Amino acid sequence: MATDPFQLFDDWFAEAKASEPNDAEAMALATADAGGRPSVRMVLLKGHGPAGFVFYTNEESAKGAQLAANPRAALLFHWKSLRRQVRIEGPVERVAAADADAYFASRSRDSQLGAWASDQSRPLDSRATFERRFKEMQQRFEGADVPRPPHWGGYRVLPERIEFWSDRPHRLHERRLFERQDGGWCEGLLYP
């Protein structure tokens, strides 16, 4: 193998953080329900390395329900300024409660309160209802630390496939694919 896929990701991610105008850590997360119906949305990468790629969310959200029914996901980073993409696929596991607690504690207070106030992905009758619930959480936790809600946590995508895509003139792109095999990684190329 010519390259460690995690080192290559680190290198590309560092370049993206320097060149992307907004949210180099933004990634599309694709999940599917038990019936195979797909869904995709943007989330933020909050940790990565050989153990996997981590994001946090309301576990009772649509994505949380889908991951409970079908614990596999795909991620896509698209760094337009670099004309690069990284695709990651694999099974998903929950992060440890201590890790979720530590990350939740690092969030802004309003983000913490919003996690308590929001029934993420469920119908909302009006914005005023959400704003009222947010104010109720401000009052509830006034003068105290905001604990992590029991329905909020993190997920780790355990990569089985990582593809690095680079734009080339005339759509003659370069696609490098790393696949996990026998505890290691096998590297190959794909036609553009």
Average pLDDT over residues 45-63: 96
pLDDT of residue 3: 74
Which structural domains are found in the chain, ordered by start?
Answer: 5-105+150-190 (2.30.110.10)
pLDDT of residue 75: 98
pLDDT of residue 158: 98
pTM for this prediction: 0.94
Average pLDDT over residues 129-155: 97
Average pLDDT over residues 136-142: 97
94 is catalytic: no
Helix, strand, coil % in the chain, rounded to nearest 5: 30, 35, 35
Q: How many residues does the chain have?
A: 192
What three-state secondary structure class fits 165? strand
What are the Cα distances from residue 115, in Å, to 24, 40, 60, 104?
A: 23, 21, 11, 10
pLDDT in tens, 4-37: 999 999 999 999 999 998 999 999 999 999 999 9
What three-state secondary structure class fits 39? strand
pLDDT of residue 21: 87
pLDDT of residue 71: 98
Average pLDDT over residues 38-61: 97
Answer whether residue 89 shows pLDDT above 80: yes
Exactly one of 72, 132, 171, 176 is catalytic; which is it? Answer: 171
pLDDT of residue 2: 60
Question: If you average pLDDT over every residue of the chain, what do you get?
Answer: 96
pLDDT of residue 1: 46
Average pLDDT over residues 133-158: 97
Q: Specify whether the CB–CB gap between 31 and 73 falls below 8 A.
A: yes
Average pLDDT over residues 125-150: 97
